[in-house]
Amino acid sequence: MARANEEAAELLRELADLLSITGGDAFKIRAYEKAARAVEGFPDDISGLGLPGLRKIPTVGEAIAKKLLDFNQTGTIRQVEDLRAQIPAGVRALTEIPTLGPKRAYQLYDELGISSVAELSEAIGEERLKGLKGFGPKSVENLRHGIELLAQTRDRAPVDVASELADDVVAAISALPGVERCQYTGSLRRRRETIGDVDVLAASDDPHPIMEAFKALPFVTEIIGSGDKKTSVRTSRGLQVDLRVVPPESWGAALQYFTGSQAHNIRTREIAVRAGLKLSEYGLFDAESGALVVSETEDEVYRRLGLPWIPPPLREDTGEIEAAQKDELPRLVQVEDLRGDLHTHTDLTDGVASLEEMVAAAAARGLEYYAVTDHAPDLVMQRMTDEKMLAQRERIRELQKEYPDLTILHGTELNIGPDGSVDWDADFLAGFDVCVASVHSHFTQGREEVTRRLITACENPHVNVIGHPTARSLGRRAPVDADWDEVFRAAARTGTAMEVNSFPDRLDLPADLARRALRLGVRFAIDTDAHSVGNMRNIRFAVGTAQRAWITPDDVINTWPLPRLREFLAKKG
């Protein structure tokens, strides 16, 4: 993405945040957030555009176009500067705490002068929130928990940011003379949901020039350590990258070693020792003579240990070694297995692309079916009506004629109310091909209520998929509290799929819960929840999460041919 688009989107997002802190108009705030996403997703660099060009960005009207023009001319947005002068930066940082909304963040600043997360921690420790209106013991406890949650993800990057950086590094290194192989390893190869640092491995007999070229890459801002075996740098995206260069004959052993996890590697080394071997990043050696046994490919290393090759997402020592020994490793679901997408949006609600654009992109992805699931009326901000929904259905019928190879399904994303009920009555719901239902409010209900709420949604004969079931937002909002085993049993019993949502800050269900659901017989929908054409690329992150949950193609309803899917959607048990 163009640097200017990234910066402008961030300014619009800051504007939305600052306005919500000062109690600005909710519709305007949504409009800025929406425009931020559109600017990010816009294919051209906005920096050269004048007013007419800026107006062509989806969702950008006259007022926002003027702000973007201001940005193009001055490098900032005047209104953002004005608001910054009123509200210290730390107050905006406070709103990053899950469980603390903008109004309450402002209250803390206004009444107690708190303007950073550290100051808030201190104030809680000293019980200075006591007596503050709206901050009872339970809400202070939630705050404390929210601060912990923020700390857990603070030093880790979302998987999309890390992936893009890793792809850039691998492309640059691969293009250098003398590089025989290059790929990323570590947690990114294992598809973890957040990434501590990016690890890249290259094979070459002449490491020195490769390290020099690495240090000279345009996004490198600081050299943390440098040698011919390993060089570590910090990048403009804040993330650290470790590059290791090994001789081509050590490739397989090094790939295995630096993919990890550490817990998995401890197990493979133990297996080696018991077989009279020694495993290191240089190869698999005879323990006595020191002679090299194998090292060129990962596959050889595993085979010589008496194991089949183990897919990286499973390498966490959570049963994969035992399964490998019994030759019972699952055949993990892949992006190519997906025949359709069951959760997507258009600009009828909070998407930034039109129905026609989204469907064209789905066809280009080679999908066989594609569900359009715009938001239902209870999410008031989206201003959905029965008439709009029915008009969309008509447009889909027309559009379908142009796509003989893609079945367009008409669906909706319902809101699961606090009692488990959803937006429309059974008659209206029956008109949809597929209904996703999600929690979008009342996140802090107690465990029993949430459990009941999700089970009630599963029991609704028109609800097919529970969207982003925990409603977490990584580093921002805690998952809702539920007895998940009870929820999963209800999902399995009623023929309701659990979603694995592909947004990098959602990845929801998370892998550990999805694996529990799998054991209880639940089926999954691996969806993009795309709000733009660009979002469709996120699908690989949900697939990675599903792989970490040991999910196979047959467990996923949107790998099924349409007739089998239709039968599932009819919920006839």
Residues in the site for ligand DGT, rule: CB under 6 A?
A: 186-187, 192, 195-197, 199, 257-258, 260-262, 265
Q: Name which of 195 and 556 has its Cβ closer to ligand DGT.
A: 195
Should residue 186 be labelled a site residue for Ca ion when binding is judged by CB under 5 A?
yes
The binder of 258, among ligand DGT, Ca ion, Zn ion, none, by C-beta within 5 to 8 A per type, is ligand DGT
Q: Which does 262 bind (CB under 5 to 8 A by kind): ligand DGT, Zn ion, Ca ion, none?
A: ligand DGT
Select the residue whose beta carbon is closest to Ca ion and give its number. 186
Query: Does residue number 199 form part of the binding site for Ca ion (CB under 5 A)?
Result: yes
3-state SS, residue 56? coil
Q: Provide the mask over 550-569, with x wherever binding to Ca ion is found by CB under 5 A and - wherever it is not.
A: --------------------
**Cα(329)–Cα(318) distance, integer angstroms:** 12
Selected range binding Ca ion among 48-56, 61-69, 191-199, 447-455, rule: CB under 5 A: 191-199
Q: Contacts from 357-365 at CB under 8 Å and sequence distance 24+?
A: 357/533, 358/530, 358/533, 359/399, 359/403, 359/406, 359/408, 361/533, 361/536, 362/406, 362/536, 363/403, 363/405, 363/406, 365/536
Please state the closest distance from residue 468 (CB atom) to Zn ion, in A: 6
- The smaller minimum CB distance to Ca ion, of residues 298 and 529, is found at 298
Residue 242 or 300 having the CB closest to Ca ion: 242
Segment 226-265, which members bind Ca ion (CB under 5 A)? Answer: 242
Q: Is 382 in the site for Zn ion (CB under 5 A)?
A: no
Name which of 264, 258, 272 is nearest 317 in CA terms: 264
DSSP state of 438: E
Residue 197 binds Ca ion (CB under 5 A): yes
Taking the least distance from each CB to ligand DGT, the nearer of 263 and 570 is 263
Helix or strand holding residue 413 (H, E): strand 407-415
- Give least dist CB 274 to Zn ion, A: 49
Given 438, 470, 535, 545, the residue binding Zn ion (CB under 5 A): 438
> What angle, rounded to 10 degrees, do the helices at 484-494 and 447-459 form?
10
Closest contact distance (angstroms) between CB of 56 and Zn ion is 28
Pick the closest to residue 271 from 324, 220, 195 (CA basis): 324
Q: How many CB atoms lie within 10 A of CB 276?
A: 9
Counting contacts by CB under 5 A, is residue 193 touching Ca ion? no
- Choose the contact partner of 226 out of Ca ion, Zn ion, ligand DGT, none; CB within 5 to 8 A by kind: none
Judged by CB under 5 A, does residue 423 bind Ca ion?
Answer: no
**DSSP for 338-394, written as a single string:** --EE--B--TTTT-SS-HHHHHHHHHHTT-SEEEEEEEPTTSGGG---HHHHHHHHH
The answer to whether the CB of 544 falls within 8 A of the CB of 166 is no
Pick from Zn ion, ligand DGT, Ca ion, none: which does 261 bind, CB < 5 to 8 A by kind? ligand DGT
Q: Which CB sits closer to Ca ion, 129 or 241?
A: 241
Task: Select the binding partner of residue 438 from Ca ion, ligand DGT, Zn ion, none (C-beta < 5 to 8 A, by kind).
Answer: Zn ion
Q: Helix, strand, or coil here: 241? A: strand
Instruction: Give which of Zn ion, ligand DGT, Ca ion, none residue 247 binds (C-beta under 5 to 8 Å, depending on kind).
Output: none
Q: Exposed, middle or buried by CB within 10 Å (0-12, 13-18, 19+), for 89? A: exposed
Nearer to Zn ion, 115 or 415 (CB): 415
Q: Which residues pair with 414 in a beta bridge?
A: 437
| Per-position DSSP letters for 118-141, written without gaps between them | HHHHHHHHTTTTTT-TT--HHHHH
Question: In the complex, what is the shortest distance from the CB of residue 375 to Zn ion, in angstroms, rounded to a whole number?
Answer: 7
Vertex 502, ends 38 and 199: CA angle to 5°? 100
Q: Which residues bind Ca ion (CB under 5 A)?
A: 186-187, 197, 199, 242
Q: Which residues bind Zn ion (CB under 5 A)?
A: 438
